[in-house]
Amino acid sequence: MNMPLNAQTLERPGPTGADTAVHQARLLPTPRELREQLPVAPFLAKQIDQHREAVRRVVRGDDDRTLVVVGPCSIHDEVAALEYGERLAALADEVGGRFLIVMRAYLEKPRTTVGWKGLLYDPDRTGAGDLNEGLVRSRRLLLNLTELGLPLATEALSPMAMDYLGDLVSWTAIGARTTESQIHREMVSGLPMPVGFKNGTDGGVAVALNAIKSAAHTHHRLGLTESGQPAMITTPGNADTHLVLRGGRGVTNYDANSIGQAASALSSAGLSPAIMVDCSHDNACKQAERQLEVARSVMAQKDAGNAAIRGLMLESFLEPGRQNDDGDLVYGQSITDPCIGWDDTAALLHELSA
């Protein structure tokens, strides 16, 4: 099916009713139309189901490997992302006895105020935005990465985006800013893959525990069918949610005491004490290279017998650091949060797998 990339633009008065206040609405394809244009081959659909089940087994503790969600902070260059994926697929085979590797394929970038919102919304980074192009390029990229044999992870920022892309994802994160959102909890209740809720930006875990409880239950929510028709969606509940510790407000929470307290809080709430540690963000004190020592510390705790630790998250790209999005860009370097480079990533995972 041919999909209109140059969408029709509609205008309507803004909420103030003033003549100068005009909202623009550019029509998008329905989820069904996008999936028909860029379909998942049957063998890939089966592979994704197997990847989701493998992730579930690690999160539930049925597989004693450690889940490692690793990759760029956000993807701005599809070519560099594919090269990273090719390298990661080879590395995943080498360390597969110790780790279940899942590639970060983050297409939406949450912003504290304003800024580039990610490949999905503004693929050419002009500031003008082009969701039609972003949807096509994002789905094509996920398909290409899936063909490498990799399980994929993303952060679900817009619930509607998951209608277009979620069938290609094996693990999903809900960020610290959205863990408290009822809309996101209801969305997770209907997602067919394991989901990690991050602790709040203040470092506390109570909000995430409430989110895990909520997402485990059935909900009735406002949504869209695959054909774009508004509908009441009834969700079944998601039994495979877990806590992601990422620190908060300059305070880390990857130490043994913090992880022990979080596991106790989960158990006291009647929840599975399954914990992933985000080695970046406040746990790394905003310094990408500190992810290495965080990962080593967490895996030492697991090796010492802490069975609650089920996963790690690392921000990693081909080149270390970050750059501003202006002028000639360094190939394979983040334009959002700083990352560790490929050499350090591969060396770390080989070291820890040994």
List, for residues 156-175, the tens digit of each pLDDT value: 999 999 999 999 999 999 99
Residue recorded with tokens 């500031």: 127
- pLDDT of residue 251 exceeding 70, the answer is yes
Catalogue all structural domains in the chain, each as residue range(s) with its CATH number.
28-353 (3.20.20.70)
Model confidence at 111, in pLDDT bands (50, 70, 90)? Answer: confident
Instruction: Judge whether 64 and 97 are in contact, CB under 8 Å.
Output: no
- What is the pLDDT of the chain when averaged over all its residues? 93
Instruction: Judge whether 1 and 37 are in contact, CB under 8 Å.
Output: yes
Measured between alpha carbons, how far is 88 from 82 in angstroms, rounded to an integer? Answer: 10
230 or 9, which is more confident? 230
Average pLDDT for residues 322-338, to the nearest whole number? Answer: 96
22 or 311, which is more confident? 311
Model confidence at 103, in pLDDT bands (50, 70, 90)? Answer: very high
Residue 18: CB atoms within 10 Å: 9
Instruction: Judge whether 317 and 70 are in contact, CB under 8 Å.
Output: no
Give the 3-state secondary structure of residue 287: coil
pLDDT tens digits, 189-216: 999 999 999 999 999 999 999 999 999 9
- pLDDT of residue 130 exceeding 70, the answer is yes
Give strand ranges (E) for 94-135.
99-104
- What pLDDT was estimated at residue 6? 44
Measured between alpha carbons, how far is 123 from 281 in angstroms, rounded to an integer? Answer: 25
Instruction: Judge whether 58 and 100 are in contact, CB under 8 Å.
Output: yes
Average pLDDT for residues 331-349, to the nearest whole number? Answer: 98
- What pLDDT was estimated at residue 24? 80
Residue recorded with tokens 């893959």: 193
- pLDDT of residue 20 exceeding 70, the answer is no
- What pLDDT was estimated at residue 17? 53
Tokens for 319?
């080149």
Q: What is the DSSP string of 149-208?
A: T--EEEE--SHHHHHHHGGG-SEEEE-TTTTT-HHHHHHHHT-SS-EEEEPPTTS-SHHH
Average pLDDT for residues 76-98, to the nearest whole number? Answer: 98
- pLDDT of residue 82 exceeding 90, the answer is yes
- pLDDT of residue 4 exceeding 60, the answer is no
